[in-house]
Structure 1
Amino acid sequence: MFTSIKAATFAMIAFAAGKALAETHTITFNNNCGRGTPMLISQTGQVLSTGGAFTSNGPLRGAIAYLQTGSCGFNGEGCTLLETTLVNPSTAGSGSSTDLSLIPPHAFSVTTGFGYIGGCAPAGADCNNANCNTAFHVPTDTFVQVACQQDNANLVITFCL
């Protein structure tokens, strides 16, 4: 009897510790444009959100977001694109990274911005015109990437700031 109680106690502690250490990331949208549908698409092409908050229970790698105004392709072609990887850092410099992209076939469509919530706030970026210096214009513009080296980084994406 004592062994089964002991095993159950250890199982409960392990479960609670696992829950406390579980990795989660939430992306929320703020659409101030009065039109359009916020889109969040996974690296595998799955629609994760059309405007509601999305929580990933684990790392979220290579997701894209944009405001579908009717002229954007499924991968955000023709529109301002946001790219993000939200992951707890396992070594220095290996955490989350988010950026805006205007690399063709992407093009400026609406003012787009993002900000981390929590430990990395107020880190983020806004792009309000086709020539903004806070978005990729060519693949070597890596200086526009905004990193977050905190666990469980959350993101808010805003359209029409």
Structure 2
Amino acid sequence: MLSLRLVASLIALVIGVHAESHMIIFDNRCGYGTPMLKANGQTLSTGGAYISNGPLTAAIAYLQTGTCGDNGENCVTVETTLVNPTSPGSGSSTDLSLIPPHAFSVPTGFGYFNGCDGAGALCASGSCPTAFFQPSDTQVQVACQTNNVNLAITFCAN
């Protein structure tokens, strides 16, 4: 008969193998600035890879060039929620935002990897058609319905 401790260890191992996680990496090709990743008012990364052990909701990323506010004001932001889908359409979503007070600062792009490879967007100028300019521009959201998808964010790549 298996001991309770052994059963608990096996359950933890199985859960750990299937646990949700997401990684965000940065590629700053500008030669200046500090990549920022924030969620819920907290800084999660200043350029290093960030791993979320579970869903990452309502996070923002931007390149702090010295002109950006604490929440990316005056700069283009990447807004993301990385979450394993529980029903069709309920997975990850990422977009670029130029909704005021956000404004174009540097070319900014993103792309999913480890699922939905090739899906992403690039904003290379202040008039990019791939960014939100008003809250109703929902067609620019890039969705991914893959478990444990990751995100690469690039600055100054055209």
CA distance in 2 between partners of 1:73 and 1:11 (Å):
47
1:25 maps onto 2:22 in alignment: yes
1:62 maps onto 2:58 in alignment: yes
Q: What is the CA deviation profile of residues 57-107 of structure 1, one whole-angstrom value per residue up to 9, with x for unaligned ones?
A: 111100000000000000000001110000010111000000000011000
Provide the residue aligned with 1:88 in structure 2: 84
CA-based RMSD: 0.9
Residue identity matched to 1:18: I
Residue identity matched to 1:75: N
Runs of 4+ in 1 over 3 A off after TM superposition: none
Q: What is the CA deviation profile of residues 104-156 of structure 1, one whole-angstrom value per residue up to 9, with x for unaligned ones?
A: 10000000000001111111000000000000011111000000101111000
Kept in 1: contact 2:115–2:150 (CA 8 A): no
CA distance in 2 between partners of 1:50 and 1:11 (Å):
37
- Structure 1 residues without counterparts, runs of 5 or longer: none
Task: Summarize the alignment of residues 2-151 of structure 1 with structure 2, pairs less than 5 Å apart.
Answer: 2=1, 5-42=2-39, 44-151=40-147
Q: What is the CA deviation profile of residues 22-63 of structure 1, one whole-angstrom value per residue up to 9, with x for unaligned ones?
A: 010100000000000000011x20000000000011111000
CA distance in 1 between partners of 2:140 and 2:114 (Å):
20
Q: Secondary structure at the match of 2:72?
A: coil
Residue identity matched to 1:39: M
CA distance in 1 between partners of 2:147 and 2:17 (Å):
12
When the two structures are superposed, what TM-score results if normalisation uses the length of structure 2? Answer: 0.96
CA distance in 1 between partners of 2:55 and 2:115 (Å):
17
Q: Secondary structure at the match of 1:19?
A: helix
Identity of matched residues, %? 62
Q: Secondary structure at the match of 2:26?
A: strand
Residue identity matched to 2:118: P
